[in-house]
């Protein structure tokens, strides 16, 4: 990797910050979208109790440490957040439990000479997949981020569709069920209640008597060991069916050539992807069956959020 090194300083690096409902990723990203350095932390109930202080301190301390240690000059800090951004403020984030929070101004005091931008996280990750990943050669496509919640981005003719008033495409809050389970947004029966990875993982944990800390590889391996367990099979089938109903609604509205799935779903793709394709292509959910979209998983994996925030926020 070639960098523009002047007097020992690595110039023109961007910081990408991907804030999810249960995880924060901070990356030092070069202009080609390669992550040179990365810090990841889980956001548990403890951090959520004072989420504003946690975010502020984690971001400021990490960036200051990198600047000092590695002689880096930073051009831009891009932040992706799960929620609505308006006039650079976090207007409303259901999964972080914050509203009207001016994170940009707080960071600007610490880094007055660095450009700072905030954007919806799924739009950032979607742009990374569109420009550098699995959706590169596809004009009309959808990005769906399956994580703690469900976020999305839609592209038409190669361009991100950007509504005037807000970032739009909040697929996670389409209503899937009348009088359904309550969502953190205040509605009932939202798609993300049934189709998010949080739902899938929580159902598995409950079934196997696991605590909230059982995550990642341990959870994945436990599912693999229990693939003959009828209760686990039912959880997987139920999850896939709900996912298909939500995705079919999106397909019927937007007629994409491809759907890219990102977020922590990518980590569980061995268990879920084939089943999702089979159910979507063989069941009767999609209206125009001749136009079945291709399903691809995020090539940049869970890093799409960091890369997208760094380059496109």
Binding site for Zn ion (CB under 5 A): 173, 183, 185, 187, 190
Query: Of the candidates 101, 116, 111, which has an alpha carbon nearest to the alpha carbon of residue 64?
Result: 111
Shortest spacing between CB 190 and Zn ion, in angstroms: 3
Please provide the size of the chain in residues. Answer: 313
Q: Which residue number, 185 or 207, has a Cβ lying nearer to Zn ion?
A: 185
Strands 150-156 and 141-146: antiparallel
The answer to whether the CB of 100 falls within 8 A of the CB of 91 is yes
Q: Which residue number, 158 or 189, has a Cβ lying nearer to Zn ion?
A: 189
Shortest spacing between CB 5 and Zn ion, in angstroms: 48
Shortest spacing between CB 44 and Zn ion, in angstroms: 22
Q: Which residue number, 176 or 300, has a Cβ lying nearer to Zn ion?
A: 176
Chain centroid to CA 238: how far? 22
Could you give the 3-state DSSP secondary structure of residue 35? strand
Shortest spacing between CB 65 and Zn ion, in angstroms: 37
Shortest spacing between CB 198 and Zn ion, in angstroms: 13
Q: Which residue number, 180 or 301, has a Cβ lying nearer to Zn ion?
A: 180
**Other CB atoms within 10 A of residue 221 CB:** 10
Q: Which residue number, 129 or 170, has a Cβ lying nearer to Zn ion?
A: 170
Question: Please, which residues have CB within 8 angstroms of residue 199's CB and are 6 or more apart in sequence?
Answer: 192, 193, 239
């Amino acid at each position: 990797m070639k960098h523009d090194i002047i007097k020992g300083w690595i110039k023109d690096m961007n910081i990408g910050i991907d804030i999810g409902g249960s995880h924060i990723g901070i990356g030092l990203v070069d202009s080609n979208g390669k992550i040179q350095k990365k810090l990841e932390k889980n956001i548990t109930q403890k951090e959520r109790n004072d989420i504003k202080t946690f975010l502020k301190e984690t971001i400021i301390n990490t960036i200051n440490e990198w600047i000092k240690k590695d002689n880096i000059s930073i051009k831009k800090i891009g932040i992706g957040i799960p929620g609505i951004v308006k006039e650079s403020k976090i207007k409303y984030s259901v999964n972080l439990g914050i509203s009207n929070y001016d994170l940009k101004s707080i960071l600007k005091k610490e880094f007055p000479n660095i450009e700072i931008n905030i954007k919806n996280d799924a739009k950032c990750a979607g742009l990374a997949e569109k420009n550098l990943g699995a959706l590169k050669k596809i004009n009309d496509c959808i990005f769906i981020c399956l994580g703690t919640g469900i976020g999305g981005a839609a592209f038409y003719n190669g361009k991100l569709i950007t509504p005037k008033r807000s970032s739009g495409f909040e697929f996670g809050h389409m209503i899937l069920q009348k009088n359904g389970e309550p969502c953190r947004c205040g509605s009932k029966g939202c798609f993300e209640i049934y189709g998010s990875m949080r739902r899938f993982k929580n159902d598995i944990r409950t079934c196997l008597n696991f605590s909230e800390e059982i995550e990642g590889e341990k959870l994945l391996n436990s599912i693999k060991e229990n693939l003959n367990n009828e209760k686990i099979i039912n959880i997987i089938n139920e999850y896939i069916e709900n996912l298909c109903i939500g995705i079919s609604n999106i397909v019927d509205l937007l007629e994409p050539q491809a759907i890219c799935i990102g977020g922590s779903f990518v980590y569980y793709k061995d268990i879920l992807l084939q089943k999702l394709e089979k159910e979507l292509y063989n069941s009767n959910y999609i209206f125009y069956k001749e136009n079945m979209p291709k399903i691809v998983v995020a090539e940049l994996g869970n890093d799409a959020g960091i890369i997208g925030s760094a380059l496109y926020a």
